[in-house]
Amino acid sequence: MERLVSYDDDLTGRYHKARYEFAEKYCKGKNVIDVACGSGEGTRMIGTVAKSVRGIDPYIRPDDSEEELLINGYIETLQASSCDVIVCFETIEHTISIDLSVQMLALALTEGGMLVLSFPNSWGESEYHFHDTNKGLIATVERCFDISEVYGQCRKAHVDPIKIKVEDAGRYENILVAAKKKPGLSGELSYEERFAFIYSECLRRQEEKTRYIGFKCKVLPARIRTKWKRMFGI
């Protein structure tokens, strides 16, 4: 998976850093989870304004841990009602099931919690990008969230996110969404329900012969991989 380690002076780094600077206003005084935090540089930025912050990433190793600031984890392993704000940048296109990811992000938030999400716009599928995300993803987010604001980013023209209309989102390289969890969403998806989303996406992709994705089970946490094999024999 792509993993940005440092922001330094590189344009890609500054581009990503600008998202965290944008997110800080939503994180002030809140309990925050930074999903797919990479090296944790952005997590530390959020930590300067948040009440508390944790970064989760599947590539975090025990020796990366800084007083539990960074922990190993996935969107699919988020716990229900565990934070007030989730920051999730350039991640959802890497997941097997976007529908599942959006639900897991919503359920992990407390009542009225905020999601600050970014994703690439029509970059195509690749070795790393499991989905070709575009502005249509906003409608998927709206199933569980009320959209507060939509922003766009372009590496050359708008490194800092600028507020835009939904209908204009297709003009930008990356789309950012600030969204509030819909009232009444609570509870936690069972492992069976989570696997149902993932398995249905596997079947859909393989029936379309667009991509064989059985390998994806290899990067799931051991406890989920064991359950996957028990349920589906994969």
All domains in the chain, ordered by first residue: 11-185 (3.40.50.150), 190-234 (no CATH)
Predicted structure pTM score? 0.82
- What pLDDT shows up at residue 62? 65
Residues 102, 115: Cα–Cα separation, whole Å? 10
pLDDT at 188: 81
Provide the pLDDT for residue 232: 46
Sheet containing 52-57, strands listed edge to edge, beginning at the edge strand earlier in sequence: 70-72, 52-57, 31-35, 83-89, 109-120, 174-181, 145-154, 158-163
pLDDT score, position 6: 55
Token representation of residue 228: 């996957």
Burial 66-88, CB ≥16 within 10 A → b, else e: eeebbbebbbbbbeeeebbbbbb
In order along the chain (234 residues), what is the average pLDDT of each group of 10 residues?
54 86 97 94 95 92 68 86 96 89 95 97 81 93 96 89 94 96 86 77 65 46 51 47
